[in-house]
Amino acid sequence: MLTLALGVGAAWMLRSLLAPLVAGAWFAALLAPAMARVSGRLGPRPRLAAAATALLVLATLAPVALLVMPLTGLVGEAFAVLARHAGPGGVGRWLGAVSGSAPGGATTVPLERLASAARSVGPSAAALASRAVSSVAHGAVQLFALVGAAYTFSSRGREIYAVVRAGSPLAPAHFDRLAREALTVARGLLVGGLLTALAQGVVAWAVYLAVGAPNPAGLAALTGIASAIPVAGTALVWVPICAVLAGAGRTRDAVVLAVCGVVLIGSIDNVLRPFLARLGAREIHPLVMFLGVVGGLVALGPWGLMAGPLVLVLFVSAYRLHAEEASTTGPR
């Protein structure tokens, strides 16, 4: 009872870090066969674990790094388009209006009104900045937890598994079976994520080509990469493109892209991912994977994409184990 109470307390304390910790354990388990084959030839296991963890960090940060420069260019292009359509003297007329000496009889904007607007917007802007800083800090902590878990489980995974297995209230055979089910979920989500990114990139390429966006192939590749980023995802790419199209006066194309971005590009993540994930987890029924992905997203947000299928698949497996035991022992 003491162990159970302390375990519940530890889980509650680490609830915001459980997802990266599980992801780190999954990473180590999926990589374990390859590390076992090369550990004797390429160096000791801790060194291989450090190299594998470094590759994980690069794979985690690569989508963000690959999107920064192109998105910065899109934002700059949007401002340039808006500036061109504002007219050659747009900025000058606006500055003159603020100072009260607008040329050509333009309506002036009193400085008191601007100050009042700034005071009303100030608290909201401060709250938004505070939430942004908090999100960045939380993301950094989660990344640190992911890296630490990946290295620890990669270098000491066998010892940790043996200790947890020995101390588990489950029978060893049952513990091994549930562990295999958890690894199957990890493999399915990895395959499903890669195939989903590819599908979103292909659909995005067709949409960008239809609306006449510049460099549709490059933007489609960026869209596929952005699908790996939680919360925002592909919207990081097609939303700035909508702004550029709208600023250029192509309102219809911007509306078409926005609708396709929500209905086609964005919905692939929720609709196709569970079925594509089954290509890497054929032992799991597609309905179970679908309900786990959708239910996890609704209940827990982006991390529910991982936790939902894991919890539901383990529940089904545990129930099957219970049913098998009941059928062999007979009625009590």
Neighbours of 307 (CB within 10 A): 19
Neighbours of 312 (CB within 10 A): 20
* Rounded CA separation 47/19 (Å): 25
Query: What confidence category does residue 243 fall into, taking pLDDT thresholds of 50, 70 and 90?
Result: confident
Query: What confidence category does residue 127 fall into, taking pLDDT thresholds of 50, 70 and 90?
Result: low
Instruction: State the virtual CA torsion across 242, 247, 252, 257 in degrees, nearest 10.
Output: -10
- Nearest CA to 56 out of 25, 11, 83 is that of 25
The token pair at 302 is 């982006």
H helical segments located in the chain = 2-13, 18-42, 45-85, 90-99, 111-167, 172-211, 216-226, 235-247, 251-260, 266-277, 286-300, 304-329
**Per-domain residue ranges of the chain:** 17-64+111-167, 170-332
pLDDT at 315: 92
pLDDT at 76 over 60: no
* Rounded CA separation 246/209 (Å): 17
Neighbours of 73 (CB within 10 A): 11
| pLDDT tens-digit readout, 173-228 | 899 999 988 888 888 888 888 888 888 888 888 888 888 877 788 888 888 877 77
Rounded CA Rg of the chain:
26
**pTM (predicted TM-score):** 0.66
Cβ within 8 Å of residue 194, ≥6 positions away: none
Q: What is the mean pLDDT of residues 285-307?
A: 81
Query: What confidence category does residue 5 fall into, taking pLDDT thresholds of 50, 70 and 90?
Result: very high
Query: Is there a contact between 289 and 278 (Cβ–Cβ < 8 Å)?
Result: yes
| pLDDT tens-digit readout, 159-172 | 898 998 998 888 89
The token pair at 155 is 């270098």
Q: Which of 102-106, 311-315, 316-320 has the lowest mean pLDDT?
A: 102-106
Query: What confidence category does residue 108 fall into, taking pLDDT thresholds of 50, 70 and 90?
Result: very low
- Amino acid found at 88: P
